[in-house]
Amino acid sequence: MSEHSFLRVENLSVTFPPKDARLGGPVFAVRGVSWTLEKGEILGIVGESGSGKSVSTSAIPSLLPAHAEVTGDIFLEGKQLVGLPKEDIRSFRGRRIGMIFQEPGRSYDPLQNIGSVFHETLANSRPGISRQESEEEAIRLLTEVGLPQPRERLGNYPHQFSGGQLQRIGIALALAQGCDLLIADEPTTALDVTIQAQIVALLKRIRDDRAISILFISHNIDLVATISDRILVMYGGLVMEEGPTRQVLASPAHPYTTALLAAAPRFDSHYSTSPLLSIPGKVPDPSRPLPGCPFAPRCSRVMSGCRTELPPLRWGPQEADESLARSWRCVFDREEVRL
Amino acid sequence: MIFVEPLVRVEGLTKKFNLEAGFFARFGKFVHAVNDLSFTIGKGETYALVGESGCGKTTTARLIVRMYERDAGTIFFGRDTDVGLLRGRDLRSYREKVKYVFQDPARSLNPRMSVYNVLTSGYRWSSRWPGARRAREEAALILEEVGLAPSDLDRRPADFSGGQRQRISIARSLLMQPELLICDEVVSALDVSIQGQILNLLQDIREKRGLSILFIAHDLKVASYFCDRIGVMYRGELMEEGRAQDLYRNHGHPYTQLLFASATGGAEEAPNSVTTPQRNSAHGCAFAHRCPLADNSCYAQRPEWKNIGDDHFIRCHKR
Amino acid sequence: MKGFYAFLRTRPLAMISAVFLLTVYLAMAFAEFIAPYSPGTSFPQMTYHPPNVRVSSRGVTAQEARTVNPVSWSYVRVKDLHHPLSLFVKGEPYRLLGFIETDRHLFGVADSAYPVFLLGADNLGRDLFSRIVYGSRISLTIGFIATAISLFLAILFGGLSGFFGGMTDWSIMRFSEFFMLIPGLYLILFLRSLLSSTMDSGQSYMVITIILSLVGWPGSARTVRGLVHSIKREEFVLNAQLEGIPSVVIIFRHIIPQMASLLIVSIALSVPGFIMSETTLSYLGLGIVDPAVSWGSLIRRDISTLSNLSNFPWLLSPVWMLLGVTLSFNFIGDALRDFYDPYHAVFKRFSLRTMLSRITGRFAPKVEGGAQ
């Protein structure tokens, strides 16, 4: 973990105290995660429901509900983001950090046309910008994200666009203020698979053209594999494994990653010839964290110690190129799991 | 595997929806949700209808259970029963043999009822209701079959996880010994680690009971793994149909090609060209506007449904 | 229920309201015991007698008073004429709870030497306190019965209307609008003129209740209809239809229970509305008539003159009772609403810690830590 990384998250925890006695105990959404992101890198964060992937990334631009308790550190180019007062966070949002969300249709005011949304966004970092200028800039951005006929469509309203187009517009808006970090939280989950592929290719191109860093969050490990340079696997509010995408997928170090890869059906496999490996049990409840490894109840290689003590983070052999570093949280050494 | 005896035969099924409703509806502006669709499901076979949103696969499934009424075409069940003509008691008995499982178990189970009531509230009104005590025994057995415990009968759906709720939903559909199960995206809303559990469960059930399944999905990988044959739909029409095991290596239609490529991350970043509204005419190929191979003949005339191999059909001029 | 009790403890206002209402309803049940006199008992020499209960070194006593001016009915207390009050005194005989014969009352003056007016007397020398206690029977129950009838009609018509749509919906809505268009007051006058001009108290009670519910149901029916219409499209309803369950069963066994929390809250908030409606009617003389008593009939034209109000302020007691009961129902209704929908609670849960931390900047709320 480099001290000079573009984005450095250290021991981040997010807990939601209950608003009301009736709503149960506190929810431990994120229980201490650490990772880094370099400039121009795409980090894919994979996890199922309750893994904490969305909550941990929403903490970066401080988009969590007011009563959330965030501890730990988030350093964006050395500047601490945790505990930053509201006015200062606002200077980061949009200008340094952009974000796109799962359901593009829900992110827009249905009564505001796209041109006006762009004007508002651009005026945030360039107050006093004229309508003419914001229009031209909007057209430039929309062309960049591949929206056909941008000039004619500036006057259109959100309901006149398809889901894929709205997501492209969302990306354009996120880039409008020239952000260095784009957080994409399940951006394609609500879209058709063909549109999914297009959006993923678009994000890759934007990263190449603008050298921005991207955090790509999804529950679909294969999708994440198509876009990310490095991959982070989360489960039960903790990081289970991290490393270069190709290596992690080719030879996973953590039993959860292995199980996740084996559980998804692949092309060229059929029920009549190869049974599907399924993981028994269910995903953990963030309001009732168990001691020990969160995956222990479902792990095929569980040992007695796994249930009582949280396994430490292990690292792969020291590499010259830091981007090839691997880590995983398990009692097993990499070689043992691979057997 | 060849499934000789057909259980469901759909011929020329068509369904239109009016784009404008109410007092100001102008006739002529409508959407062909399903357009001259024909396919067959054999006894014991699992047939997948695959496609993206709006292709008509869910509408087709709902037409088969008569949640909607068809505008044209016929649906045959069993030997020669025309489903569209069933009324009253016959319709009810048909609906006991064909069961529909919904995508989202959080919404398809009544949150205020106990699991026992969820399972049996429909059973109670059927002709085969065996009385409360026997029904409770049957419900307990079904729960065990799907991997839950008889004590769960008195709990509420909210006490269960997504995967467990889907098991309850499946159990409800099995209670009256159906012959055909229509699974509408039943694993799409589940976590990846749970998907496999449900697919394995369905596998056990269909083997044990000799069930036929109509499997609606948008995920080609799941469909290719789980089903016997796949039908690829686009804008209400079947574009290609073939054996699940072969389709990955041997598919012909450009749309199928696009779907497989997108699923494996090999697609290009062509700008989204689906800006035209749904077609409302039957001219030309439905996919022409997006097809890299399209030419004038594609726009002018709708391609025929051709047989190009073992159980392999395609609707394309260019292949 | 247990959950709600725990919730109430975080809402002091609602808790107080609940206790208050429970007390009032208990008093209503034991009205004959608690009230020293029956509502008709009058003391002809004691018109507008002021409240005369005194607590002093002599203990709790009822003090005598004499009129100074028979025209304006102002009284002067007689200095040393006190009668001690005691508990469980003998008084007028009655049947407790309808079947136990007794003549003990909660409090009173032994040997009935002098009347005790806890809240003074009215223009016929009748004890106001007793009349209020007896009046609670009508005022408090009419709200519930009218609500019950009104809700029943609303669920029935709203359910059928929302589920079936089309012609059924159209005709039911037009039918309900008929009731909405007619002002309640005119409906009462109309019905009153149809029936005999003199009705006994029982009949007038029935008529008023029915009229109130008839006027009240269309509004709730519309709400129910809207909700049924939207719930109808849920998948579990589609599934019920596919399973061959009859529509009526689906409406009332599958759909309506989804709205249970809403209906409970609406009950808590509509009871006071009906109580106030009855009060208005009786105040105008169109509701409960003598000898029956309700709080509305107690707020008669006597009190609407300023001189009466300043001279005999105790005549306003029924108003305070009504205020208390209405506010209590509203506070409880709010609490119920927040109980069922904690995510949209308007008022945050009361916490001493939070208050202190806001004031002093210390004592921030603690949360037990989890695994790190």
Q: Which amino acid, C122? A: D
Q: What pLDDT, on a 0 to 100 scale, did the predictor assign at position A262?
A: 86
For chain A, the chains sharing at least 3 beta-carbon pairs closer than 8 angstroms are B, C
The reply to whether residue C7 touches residue A21, judged by beta carbons under 8 angstroms, is yes
What is the predicted pLDDT for the residue at B28? Answer: 58
Contact of A15 with chain C, judged by CB distance below 8 Å, is answered with: yes
CATH number for region B6-20+28-106+180-269+276-315: 3.40.50.300
pLDDT at position C222 over 60: yes
Residue C354 has pLDDT above 80, yes or no: no
Kindly determine whether residue C368 and residue A26, on different chains, have CB atoms separated by under 8 Å. yes
Considering the domain boundaries, does residue C315 fall inside one? yes
pLDDT above 90 covers what percent of chain B?
59
- Residue-wise pLDDT tens digits, A233-250: 999 999 999 999 999 999
Q: How many CB pairs under 8 A join B and C?
A: 53
The number of CA neighbours under 13 Å toward the Cβ of B42 is: 13
Residues C99, C152, single domain; the answer is: no
| pLDDT of C343 above 70 | no
What is the per-residue pLDDT across B122-149, written as a single tens digit (0 to 9) for each? 999 988 899 999 999 999 999 999 999 9
Task: In whole angstroms, give the CA distance from residue A90 to residue A33.
Answer: 24
The residues on B that touch C, with CB distances below 8 Å, are 65, 67, 92, 95-96, 100, 102, 104, 107-113, 121-126, 172
Tokens matching residue A126: 């360039």
Which chain B residues are closer than 8 Å to A168 by Cβ? Answer: 272
The amino acid occupying position C336 is: L
pLDDT band at B29 (very low <50, low <70, confident <90, very high): low
Q: How far is A81 from chain B (nearest CA, A)?
A: 32
Exposed e or buried b for every residue in A157-178, given b needs 16+ CB within 10 A? ebeebbbbbbbbbbbbbbbbbe
Q: Do C209 and C320 belong together in one domain?
A: yes
Contact A236, A50 (CB under 8 A): yes
- Which residues in chain A touch residue C339, judged by CB atoms under 8 angstroms apart? 22
C230 Cα to chain B: minimum distance (Å):
13
Q: Please judge whether B249 and A268 are an interchain contact, meaning their C-beta atoms are less than 8 angstroms apart.
A: yes
Q: Where are the alpha helices (DSSP H) in A126-273?
A: 131-144, 150-153, 163-175, 193-210, 221-227, 245-250, 255-263
CATH code of the domain covering residue C242: 1.10.3720.10
Q: Is residue A114 part of a domain?
A: no
> What pLDDT does B43 receive?
93
Asked which of A258-272, B120-134, C280-294 is least confident by mean pLDDT, the reply is C280-294
Query: Are residues C80 and C138 located together in one domain of the fold?
Result: no
* Burial class of residue B14, CB neighbours in 10 A (0-12, 13-18, 19+): middle
| Tokens at C104, concatenated | 């003990």
Contacts of B122 in chain C (CB under 8 A): 239-240, 242-245
CA B197: distance to chain centroid?
Answer: 20
CA distance B8 to A334: 51
Angle formed at CA C70 by CA C64 and CA C72, multiple of 5 degrees: 100
Rg (CA), chain C: 26
Average pLDDT, chain A: 88
Q: Is the dihedral of CA C61, C67, C71, C74 positive or negative?
A: negative
Is residue A164 within 8 angstroms of chain B, CB to CB?
yes
DSSP symbol at A104: G
Are residues C266 and C173 located together in one domain of the fold? yes
pLDDT band (50, 70, 90) for residue B275: very low
The answer to whether residues C149 and C292 belong to one domain is: yes
Q: Average pLDDT, stretch C250-262?
A: 90
How close, in Å, is residue C264 to chain B by CA atoms? Answer: 15
Whether residues C100 and C140 share a domain: the answer is no
Residues in chain B closer than 8 A to A266 (CB atoms)? 221, 225
The DSSP annotation for B235-279 comes to TTEEEEEEEHHHHTTS---HHHHHHHHHHTT--------TTSPPP
Same domain, C59 and C150: no
- Residues B60-117 have pLDDT tens digits of 999 999 999 999 999 999 888 999 999 988 999 999 999 999 999 889 999 889 999 9
pLDDT at residue C237 tops 80: yes
Which residues of chain C lie closer than 8 angstroms to B100, CB-CB? 239, 242
Which ipTM score applies to this complex? 0.86
Last residue of a domain, one of C82, C116, C150: C116
Distance between B92 CA and the closest CA of chain C, angstroms: 6
- CATH (domain of A184): 3.40.50.300
From A171's Cα to the closest Cα of chain B, the distance in A is 14
C partners (3+ CB pairs within 8 A) are A, B
Give the confidence band of B280 by pLDDT, cuts at 50, 70, 90. very low
Nearest CA in chain A to C343: A19
Q: Which chain A residues are within 8 Å of B147, Cβ to Cβ? A: none
CB contact under 8 A, C371 and A69: no
Average pLDDT, chain C: 81
Residues of B whose CB is below 8 A from A48: 191-193
Residue of B nearest to A221 (CA): B192
pLDDT of residue B279: 52
In a domain, A67, yes or no: yes
User: In the complex, which subunits touch B with 3 or more CB pairs below 8 angstroms?
Assistant: A, C
SS (H, E, C) C151-166: HHHHHHHHHHHHHHCH
Those of residues 144-163 in A touching chain B at CB distance below 8 A are 146-148, 162
Can you tell me the distance from the alpha carbon of A313 to that of A306, in angstroms, rounded to the nearest whole number?
A: 13
User: In chain C, how many domains are there?
Assistant: 2
Is the distance from CB of A72 to CB of A9 less than 8 angstroms? yes
Radius of gyration of chain B (CA): 21
Select the residue from A11, A15, A19, A20 to test the C interface by mutation, using most C Cβ atoms within 10 A.
A20
Kindly state whether residue A234 falls inside one of the protein's structural domains: yes
- In tens, the pLDDT along C32-53 reads 888 888 888 888 888 888 888 8
Integer Cα distance of C306 and A96 in angstroms = 71
Q: Which residues of A are less than 8 Å from B244 in CB distance?
A: 270
Mind spelling out the 3-state secondary structure of C133-190? HHHHHHHHHHHHHHHHHHHHHHHHHHHHHHHHCHHHHHHHHHHHHHHHHCCHHHHHHH
Residues C258, B112: C-beta atoms closer than 8 Å: yes
Q: How far A285 CA sits from the closest chain B CA (Å)?
A: 10
Taking the Cβ of residue A270 and every Cβ of chain C, the question of whether any pair is shorter than 8 Å is answered with: no
Count Cβ atoms within 10 A of the Cβ of residue A3 and give its class: 0-12 exposed, 13-18 middle, 19 or more buried.
exposed
Q: Is the pLDDT of residue B242 over 80?
A: yes
Instruction: Indicate whether A2 belongs to any domain.
Output: no
**A333 pLDDT higher than 60:** yes
What's the mean pLDDT in C255-259?
90
pLDDT at C370: 32
Residues C281-292 have a mean pLDDT of 76
Q: Is the pLDDT of residue C175 over 80?
A: yes
Asked if A200 has any chain B CB less than 8 Å from its own CB, the reply is yes
- Is residue A155 in some structural domain? no
Question: Please, which residues have CB within 8 angstroms of residue B228's CB and are 6 or more apart in sequence?
Answer: B1, B3, B45, B46, B47, B243, B244
Q: Answer yes or no: are the C-beta atoms of A166 and A105 closer than 8 Å.
A: yes
Chain A contact set for C372 (CB, 8 A): 13, 31-32
Total domains present in chain A: 1
**Residue C331, class by beta-carbon neighbours within 10 Å (0-12 exposed, 13-18 middle, 19+ buried)?**
buried
pLDDT score recorded for residue B276: 47
In the predicted structure, residue C69 carries a pLDDT above the cut 80: no
Asked whether the CA dihedral C313, C319, C321, C327 is positive or negative, the reply is negative
Question: Is A67 a residue whose pLDDT tops 80?
Answer: yes
Task: Provide mean pLDDT across the span A117-144.
Answer: 91
* C72/C197 same-domain check: no
Q: What is the 3-class SS of A281-296, one letter each residue?
A: CCCCCCCCCCCCCCCH
For the cut 50, the answer to whether the pLDDT of residue C77 exceeds it is yes
Partner residue facing B191 (CB), from A48, A205, A272:
A48
The verdict on C89 and C145 lying in the same domain is no
* pLDDT the model gives residue C302: 64
Is C2 a domain residue? no
What stretches of B78-179 adopt beta strand conformation (E)?
81-82, 98-101
Question: For residue C81, what are the domain limits?
Answer: 52-116
Q: Which domain holds residue A187?
A: 7-96+179-338
pLDDT at B272 over 80: no
> Which tokens in the block code for residue A58?
């929403």
- pLDDT tens for residues A219-228? 989 899 999 9
Which residue, among B256, B248, B194, B244, has the nearest Cα to A270 in the 3D structure? B244
Which two structure tokens, joined as six digits, stand for B276? 């035209």
Is residue C133's pLDDT more than 60? yes
Question: C344 or B101, which is more confident?
Answer: B101
How many other C-beta atoms lie within 10 A of the C-beta of residue C183?
A: 10
> Is C355 a residue whose pLDDT tops 70?
no
Say how many CB pairs under 8 Å bridge A and B.
131
- Cβ contact (<8 Å) for B67 and C242? yes
Tell me the three state secondary structure of residue B81: strand
Is position C42 within any domain?
no
Amino acid C350: pLDDT:
54
Please tell me whether residues C110 and C238 are part of one structural domain: no
* Amino acid in the structure at residue A298: R
pLDDT tens string A290-325: 889 999 999 988 888 889 989 888 888 877 777 788
- Residue A248 inside a domain? The answer is yes
pLDDT of residue A25: 79
Q: Do C155 and C284 have their domain in common?
A: yes
Q: Is pLDDT of B288 > 90?
A: no
- In whole angstroms, what is the distance from residue B175 CA to residue B115 CA? 13
Backbone angles phi, psi at A218, to 5 degrees: -160, 160
Q: What is the mean pLDDT of chain B?
A: 88
Nearest to C51 by CA among C28, C77, C31: C77
Task: Provide the H-helix boundaries in A211-243.
Answer: 221-227
| pLDDT higher than threshold 60 for residue B282 | no
Residue A31 inside a domain? The answer is yes
